[in-house]
């Protein structure tokens, strides 16, 4: 009888050890189903390799009662990310992230209460998880660990929606790519050695035909922009990347056909005189323009500089003649 009682007690004790764990796991899985994780980019845009990428993580309570969630002050213990290519190739975490799980340090946590159908937003820096010296389009997912991720083998998590992020080459590399594209574009437009008067004729004919790529081909935009007071100071104070943007703005401005600008639309022209030395040139042109009900004559002097044996227009002057009736 005594042996029988001992056997029964052993079974009860064994069941106590077994079933509470199953019950706890069941409760945990139930809790997971009552939370939803949604992510979005903090600053949606096309990024560069040198940029920091921040992700907003929203944990939403989809149950009918208040939920208390556990969040670590060090976000990597609460959130992880998966980064994959469009071909579904996964990227490994960076070295700093991996080392952090082998470092002995205190983990400070907070408990946050979320009401039904409400959410709480956290921000995480993707650069803390991956070395983003990559370019292309990628997909990211966030994994929230409600019981924290204190090692690499934690498997209780909630998966977020999938997000796409576009990362372009670094700005230096991009500038080199743009310069290469510019060179190729010039080749397509047949940039060739021309005399100063031929360069001016090419530019004016392109302007009359509104062939803008040809029009800008022989213009030294970095020098010409300094002749316009609306752009000069902004351009001089800007960094290299911003200067490129300002030059693009200046090109669009020149397309607006402003009076006395270099791009003011001529209806015809006569080249009067050409002078040039080894590296500098000057071309005087009488240009006829239509302004309201008048045809006006304007005396333009174009100044040119030589670069790699090619003449480019770098500045100009304008003198007005009296108008004559159409």
- List average pLDDT for each run of 10 residues in the chain, which is 326 residues long: 49 41 41 88 87 94 92 90 91 87 79 92 93 91 91 84 88 54 54 90 92 91 91 88 89 80 86 91 92 84 92 91 48
CB atoms under 10 Å from CB of 217, counted, come to 19
Per DSSP, helices labelled H in 140-271 are 171-188, 196-208, 212-217, 221-224, 229-237, 240-254
**Residue 291 belongs to what H/E stretch?**
strand 280-291
Task: List Cβ neighbours of 113 (8 Å cut-off, separation of 6 or more).
Answer: 66, 67, 68
For 269-288, b where at least 16 C-beta lie within 10 A, e where not — what string?
Answer: bebeebeeeeeebebbbebe
Q: List the beta bridge partners of residue 56.
A: 40, 123
pTM for the whole structure: 0.47
Sketch out the chain's domains with CATH numbers: 33-169 (2.60.40.2360), 172-325 (3.10.450.50)
CB contact at 8 A, 218 and 201: no
Residue 130's nearest CA partner among 39, 38, 51, 74 is 51
Q: What is the DSSP letter of 90?
A: B
Rounded to 5 degrees, what are φ and ψ at 255? -75, -10
Angstrom distance (rounded) from CA 49 to CA 47: 7
- Angstrom distances, CA of residue 224 to CA of 137, 247, 272, 315, 317: 38, 10, 22, 5, 11
Task: List Cβ neighbours of 213 (8 Å cut-off, separation of 6 or more).
Answer: 185, 189
pLDDT at 10: 46
Torsion-angle region of 257 (φ positive above 0: left; ψ -120 to 50: alpha; else: beta): left
Identify the residue whose tokens are 């100063």.
196
pLDDT at 111: 93
Torsion of CA 114, 119, 125, 126, to 10 degrees: 120
């Amino acid at each position: 009888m005594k042996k029988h009682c001992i056997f029964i007690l052993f079974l009860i004790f064994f069941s106590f050890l077994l079933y509470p764990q199953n019950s706890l796991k069941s409760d945990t899985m139930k809790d997971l189903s009552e939370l939803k994780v949604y992510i979005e980019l903090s600053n949606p845009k096309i990024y560069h390799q040198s940029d920091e990428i921040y992700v907003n993580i929203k944990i939403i309570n989809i149950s009918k009662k208040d939920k208390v969630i556990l969040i670590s002050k060090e976000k990597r213990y609460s959130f992880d990310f998966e980064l994959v290519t469009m071909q579904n190739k996964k990227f490994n975490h960076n070295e700093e992230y991996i080392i952090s799980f082998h470092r002995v340090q205190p983990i400070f946590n907070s408990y946050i209460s979320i009401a039904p159908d409400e959410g709480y937003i956290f921000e995480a820096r993707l650069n803390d998880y991956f070395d983003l010296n990559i370019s292309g389009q990628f997909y990211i997912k966030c994994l929230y660990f409600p019981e924290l991720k204190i090692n690499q083998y934690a498997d209780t998590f909630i998966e977020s929606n999938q997000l796409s992020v576009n990362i372009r080459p670094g700005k230096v590399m991009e500038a080199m790519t743009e310069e290469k594209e510019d060179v190729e574009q010039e080749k397509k437009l047949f940039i060739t050695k021309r005399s100063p008067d031929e360069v001016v004729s090419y530019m004016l004919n392109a302007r009359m035909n509104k062939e803008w790529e040809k029009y800008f081909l022989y213009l030294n935009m970095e020098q010409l922009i300094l002749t316009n007071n609306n752009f000069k100071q902004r351009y001089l104070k800007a960094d290299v990347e911003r200067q490129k943007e300002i030059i693009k703005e200046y090109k669009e401005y020149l397309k607006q056909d402003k009076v006395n600008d270099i791009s003011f639309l001529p209806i015809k022209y006569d080249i009067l005189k050409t002078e040039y030395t080894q590296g500098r040139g000057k071309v005087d042109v009488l240009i006829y323009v239509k302004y309201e009900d008048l045809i006006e004559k304007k005396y333009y002097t174009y100044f040119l500089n030589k670069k790699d044996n090619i003449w480019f227009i770098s500045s100009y002057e304008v003198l007005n003649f009296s108008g004559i009736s159409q």
